[in-house]
A and B are shown apart, each in its own frame.
Chain A
Amino acid sequence: MELFFIFVAIVLTQNFVLHYFLGICPFLGVSDEMEAAFGMGIATTFVMTLTAIITWNINNFILEGFGVEFLEYVSFILVIASLVQLVEMFLKKYVPELYQTLGIYLPLITTNCAVMGLALFMVLRDYNFVQSAIFGFGAGVGFTLALIIMAGIRSELMEDAIPEPFRGTGITLLTAGLLALAFMGFSGLVPV
């Protein structure tokens, strides 16, 4: 049950994008097209899940084993950067269309603070291995969910007559804010 709570919490009540406001760059950058948003979500989920699994091992066995926990930032970034490289190679080979669509945002997963935040939260909250894996996967699902909702709203907005000063980034940021407010409605759903 506790694992389920962790999952629901990170997807809905404590969504990385809409609760912690982490990973806003890809959230705003890739959310204008449904297909790209979904692809970005999947790629990020993949990176996040693997990051959670690998960083947990590194933190528990290597960093704590040698007593050098202060290296967590550096080593976590190393993990994330390598994973992103891996995803990039994978996509370029097997899904070149998505690779073209994501463009610059793909290597930017490296600097997606939601991924780094995930690794640091995990350590902070003292999650065990299974909890970490669920947490990482849930964070990715939550990120994908936020991206897809945003992409849906933005594709609707494209048809609307938006007042001149709000066009472009303005309306996007407003939408993101309202979406975050809406997600506050989930608070209290699970005891975390």
Chain B
Amino acid sequence: MLVRIALAAFISSVSIAPACADDAVKVDIKLFQFKPKELVVKPGTTVTWTNGDAIEHSVTAGAPGKPTEAFDSGYFTKGGSYAHTFQAPGSFNYFCKRHPNMHAVVKVE
């Protein structure tokens, strides 16, 4: 019984559930990475990115060389943040314009 309880607790702790629309979803920018790199949210969710690096980063929809108009934070510095509300379902890749190796995705479903 104890094993079952422990197993259930473990499973619930590691499962990745999409965030509810009401959830405050945060992405940290640290060490030139978006964390988490992949995020699953429900339509209507607002995602907030906060820059923890002492350098300008951007949160720009699309891919390096192929930005889209879905969203673009412009550059923001350490301690700054940017929020975007995802209304429609879809998979939204994004990257940092200054550091194109930084890229991640928000999946709205």
A binds B: no
Which residue numbers of A lie inside 8 Å of B, CB to CB? none
Which residue numbers of B lie inside 8 Å of A, CB to CB? none
